């Protein structure tokens, strides 16, 4: 039997839960509505009843939240709590397909709840026009069976992950930028499972990662990643398939290709026991210090000539298109983080644009290993004197 045939772990709170008997008759799901998906033996009536009894919290009704919410409601999730303090803007409409021009200026949470109720009357959708904060997150998320994070800012991502680890809730997470998307499912599982902090140990500095407003994003990419998030949520709740636990799915829209990275919990990381206000630290310089730990393209030839170790941390799939820096070695980011020791101290790391190498630099600094990051990454070498070795 392959791993894809094994049932996913169902959160204990809903494993044997049926639709509550005290729910109004109009909200007791007519299972005939879901007959097409119930014919799938992996789901069946048991899985459908689990979905009908599930309570899901969705953070954000934007590019990822809009398609994810649509499919969660259509699938028959019993109760959805939607958190979003924003209002609908004209620039949202090309990707947040849950809204129309009639919703401009309205609360996203309220407008989304109305549209979802019209689409799927059996589903209860509660709109919360409130920002999740370190002070209220545990209280607002408690009582749900699964949380979905479709936000686009780092403080909320860390907040959602930390709250879910404390509450022992599975967290479906997704991210998009330009033509690329990522999806994973985190579950602290009593201090044993992978969480967002294992993937991104240190919050990025301001401007280090561009927003969708700065870099742009295709609306269709939101549909791909948001729908995948809904799929993973249903798999967890119904107990079917091979869930993205310990794996990061990467989607490249331009190449129409999915790739995958294995994830592992950092054995040195202590379980989260209280909520940290990342807003207080996200804007501060990283632990590796100021720009002396960054290397420019102009400085790199001299460092190479002096024998400095240079490490390309991009994934294998990224290399054939542009080659590598001559004299560099290739160690993918995940592999480097899992096996790095003090022998890499002093090395210069580079990725495509400098974002991942800076993040890896800070993660290693927390272990007492000082490395340097190539500013602008491989893409920033155009016009420089750095020799490129084509593959």
Judged against a pLDDT cut of 50, whether residue 289 lies above it is answered with: no
Given 280, 309, 335, the domain boundary residue is: 280
Q: CA-to-CA distance for 205 and 215, rounded, in angstroms?
A: 17
**Are residues 255 and 301 both part of a single domain?**
no
pLDDT digits (tens, 9 = 90+) for 12-53: 566 555 554 444 433 455 778 899 999 999 999 999 999 999
Six token digits for residue 179: 């033509």
- Can you give the pLDDT at residue 276? 75
Q: Are residues 303 and 243 in the same domain?
A: no
**Is 129 in the same domain as 92?**
yes
Query: Are both 339 and 205 inside the same structural domain?
Result: no
Contact by Cβ (8 Å): 11, 146? yes
Q: Does the pLDDT value for residue 230 go beyond 50?
A: yes
Query: 286 pLDDT band (50/70/90 cuts)?
Result: very low
* Together in a domain, 101 and 165: yes
pLDDT above 90 (res 171): yes
Residue 286 within a domain = no
The answer as to whether 20 is a domain residue is yes
246 with 356, same domain: the answer is no
The reply to whether 104 falls in a domain is yes
Catalytic residue ranges:
212, 351
Is position 220 within any domain? yes
Structure tokens at 359: 């993040």
Instruction: Answer with the one of 223, 252, 280 that is the final residue of a domain.
Output: 280
Does residue 192 have a pLDDT over 80?
no
pLDDT at 328: 93
pLDDT at 5: 36
> Taking 70 as the threshold, does the pLDDT of residue 7 lie above it?
no
In a shared domain, residues 198 and 336: no
Q: Is there a domain that residue 17 lies in?
A: yes
Domain membership of residue 367 as a residue range: 291-389
CATH number at residue 368: 3.40.250.10
pLDDT score for 102: 94
Per-residue buried b or exposed e for 84-119, using 16+ beta carbons within 10 Å of the residue's own CB:
beebbeeebbebbbbbeeebeeebbbbbbbebbeee
Instruction: DSSP for 290-347, please give it.
Output: SGGGEE-TTTHHHHHHTT--EEE-S-GGGHHHH-EETT-EE--HHHHHHH--GGGTT-
pLDDT of residue 63: 92
For 208-220, the pLDDT digits (tens) are 555 555 557 788 9
Q: Look up tokens 């340097």; give the residue.
A: 372
Burial of residue 173 (number of CB atoms within 10 Å: 0-12, 13-18, 19+): buried
Q: What is the distance between the alpha carbons of residues 205 and 184, in angstroms, rounded to a whole number?
A: 23
Same domain, yes or no: 274 and 309: no
Give the torsion through C-alpha atoms of 65, 315, 340, 387, to 10 deg: -130
* Mean residue pLDDT across the chain: 83
285 lies in some domain: no
Q: Are residues 48 and 135 in the same domain?
A: yes
Whether residue 325 sits in one domain with residue 300: yes
Q: For the chain, how many structural domains are there in total?
A: 2
Does residue 73 share a domain with residue 188?
yes
Where residue 130 falls among pLDDT bands split at 50, 70, 90?
Answer: confident
pLDDT at 204: 64
> Could you say which of 280, 310, 343 is where a domain stops?
280
Instruction: Tell whether 131 is covered by a domain.
Output: yes
Residue 242: pLDDT above 70? yes
Sign of the alpha-carbon dihedral angle for 213, 214, 219, 222: negative
What residues have CB less than 8 Å from 172, skipping those under 6 apart? 146, 147, 148, 149, 183, 185, 229, 232, 233, 236
264 closest CA partner among 316, 370, 173, 338: 338
Residues 357 and 352: their CA atoms lie apart, in Å, by 9
Which residues does 330 contact at the CB level (< 8 Å), separation at least 6?
311, 312, 314, 316, 319, 324
265 and 305 part of one domain: no
The CATH number assigned to the domain holding 141 equals: 3.40.50.720
């Amino acid at each position: 039997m392959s791993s894809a045939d094994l049932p996913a772990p169902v959160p204990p709170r809903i494993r044997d839960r049926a639709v509550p008997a005290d729910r109004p008759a109009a909200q007791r799901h007519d299972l005939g509505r879901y007959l097409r998906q119930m014919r799938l033996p992996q789901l069946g009536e048991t899985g459908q009843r689990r979905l009908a009894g599930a309570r899901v919290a969705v953070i954000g009704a934007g590019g990822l939240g809009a398609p994810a919410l649509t499919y969660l409601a259509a699938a028959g999730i019993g109760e959805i709590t939607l958190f979003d303090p924003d209002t609908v803007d004209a620039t949202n409409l090309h990707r947040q397909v849950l809204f129309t021009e009639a919703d401009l200026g309205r609360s996203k949470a309220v407008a989304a709840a109305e549209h979802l109720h019209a689409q799927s009357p059996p589903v209860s959708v509660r709109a919360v026009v409130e920002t999740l904060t370190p002070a209220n997150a545990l209280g607002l998320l408690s009582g749900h069976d699964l949380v979905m994070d479709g936000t686009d800012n780092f403080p909320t991502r860390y907040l959602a992950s930390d709250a879910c680890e404390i509450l022992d809730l599975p967290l479906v997470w997704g991210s998009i930028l330009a033509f690329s998307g990522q999806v994973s499912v985190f579950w602290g599982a009593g201090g044993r499972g992978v969480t967002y902090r294992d993937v991104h140990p240190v919050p990025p500095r301001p401007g280090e990662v561009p927003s969708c407003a700065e870099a742009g994003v295709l609306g269709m990419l939101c549909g791909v990643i948001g729908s995948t998030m809904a799929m993973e949520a249903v798999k967890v709740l119904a107990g079917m398939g091979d869930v993205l636990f310990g794996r990061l799915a990467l989607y490249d829209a331009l190449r129409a290709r999915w790739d995958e990275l294995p994830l592992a919990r950092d054995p040195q990381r202590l379980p989260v026991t209280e909520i940290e206000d990342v807003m207080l630290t996200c804007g501060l310089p990283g632990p590796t210090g100021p720009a002396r730990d960054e290397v420019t393209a102009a400085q790199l030839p001299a460092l190479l000539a002096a024998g400095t170790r240079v490490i390309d941390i991009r994934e294998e799939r990224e290399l054939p298109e542009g080659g590598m820096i001559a004299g560099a070695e290739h160690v993918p980011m995940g592999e480097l983080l899992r096996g790095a020791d003090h022998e890499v101290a002093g090395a210069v790391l580079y990725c495509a644009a400098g974002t991942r190498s800076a993040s890896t630099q800070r993660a290693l600094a927390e272990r007492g290993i000082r490395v340097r990051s190539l500013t602008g990454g491989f893409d920033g070498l155009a016009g420089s004197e750095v020799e490129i070795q084509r593959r």
